[in-house]
Structure 1
Amino acid sequence: MANPIPRNPAASRAANQRGAARLAAVQALYQMDVGLQTLEETLAQFSAVHLKREIEGEEYLPADADFFRQIVSGVIKAQLEVDPAVDAALQDGWPMVRIDATLRAILRAGAFELLRRQDIPARVVITEYVDVAKAFFEDDAWRMVNGVLDAIARKAGRDEPLR
């Protein structure tokens, strides 16, 4: 199964190595969800091919491979916590299974970081995944990502003051 390609490569190209890892993690989670690949198969494939690459002629920064593995493995290991948190933050009548597979991957990765990576400020996590959503979608899907991740952060007690 092919990975989703960001519609705006220039938007994600300027990201730092952790941002590149987040983008790759979303693609890997999408592939696991849609292509039904195992964690081991996906990590091996992305480590070998996708973490240092060019898409449609656009060069990308190399991703932080360790951070990439932490996100993908973390989402899978914490899925019984992550998925209900996302479901609870979605509007009534819109369970996770009804949303686009790429959006589902973005929300899962963001929720994992908000719930399990207290060392990363919530506003950084939310901003990074909003940027990932903007790289994949032309519409205002990023607004949904922002709202859902903000709700998860607040429920988890991560509503840090903006400086």
Structure 2
Amino acid sequence: MSDAATPKPTSLKAVIDQLNANESDAKALSNKEKRARTVARLVLVQALYQLDITGAGVETVIKEFSDYRFDGDLDGEPLAAADEAFFAEGARTIVKEQSAIDPLIINRLASGWRIERLDPTVRAILRAGTWELKFRTDIGLQVIINEYVEIARAFYGETEARFVNAALDGIAADVRK
């Protein structure tokens, strides 16, 4: 679902701009709402990373992001308004349903690989993408996969983006039969 010929964005703002140029999610959403959802996805990945690394509680992290991070900046650039409700729903559901989400990811890993061996940011990207694929069936597969592939591309490069693409494609086939 990812286009390997797409150039790597130079900043997270460029990722947001690129995603919104390609997004066809929920045609009822305005461009501003689509951008807010994209920002929420990016911030959700950051929050999941923080949850994973620090062991903080989900409500603590949601409050921290709400109080201090939204309306802030990312990589020194102003952060557009995020869909805070979407962000909070994702964070809460991923923590609550991790026992249902992680096995879907594990099924798409190479034999013998444990989810703990994944880089924490890749793990966060896959958990967020899996949450949307499994629990937000109102959002199109291509939109979800493309958004998280682009987020992976922003943090890493093509190898990780292709891995995220393949894993989410497989998870989509498993949960949206």
The TM-score normalised by the length of structure 2 is: 0.81
- For structure 2, the residue ranges without an aligned partner over 5 or more in a row are 1-8, 21-34
State the SS of the aligned residue for 1:140: helix
Q: How does 1:101-120 map to 2 (within 5 A)?
A: 101-120=120-139
**Mapped pair 1:11 → 2:30:** no
**Mapped pair 1:23 → 2:42:** yes
Q: How does 1:1-163 map to 2 (within 5 A)?
A: 8-14=11-17, 15=20, 16-158=35-177
Divergent runs of 4+, >6 A? none
Query: For the structure 1 residues 95 and 11, does the alpha-carbon distance in structure 2 shift closer, same or farther, using more than 3 Å as the test?
Result: farther
How much does 1:74 deviate? Answer: 1.1
Residue 3 of structure 1 is matched in structure 2 by none
How much does 1:40 deviate? Answer: 1.2
2: CA distance, partners of 1:40 / 1:144 = 30
The TM-score normalised by the length of structure 1 is: 0.88
2: CA distance, partners of 1:61 / 1:10 = 9
Q: Which amino acid aligns with 2:95?
A: I
Task: Describe the superposition over 1:71-102 as per-residue Cα deviations: whole angstroms up to 9, x where unpaired.
Answer: 11110111111000000011212221111000
Q: Which amino acid aligns with 1:138?
A: G
Percent of paired sites with the same residue:
39
1: CA distance, partners of 2:98 / 2:80 = 28
2: CA distance, partners of 1:117 / 1:56 = 29
Number of aligned positions between the proteins: 153
Do 1:7 and 1:136's aligned partners in 2 also have CA atoms closer than 8 Å?
Answer: no
C-alpha RMSD of the superposition: 1.6
2: CA distance, partners of 1:56 / 1:154 = 35
Do 2:108 and 2:171's aligned partners in 1 also have CA atoms closer than 8 Å?
Answer: yes
State the SS of the aligned residue for 2:107: helix
Do 1:82 and 1:108's aligned partners in 2 also have CA atoms closer than 8 Å?
Answer: yes
Task: Describe the superposition over 1:15-64 as per-residue Cα deviations: whole angstroms up to 9, x where unpaired.
Answer: 51101000000000000000111011101100011122112321221111
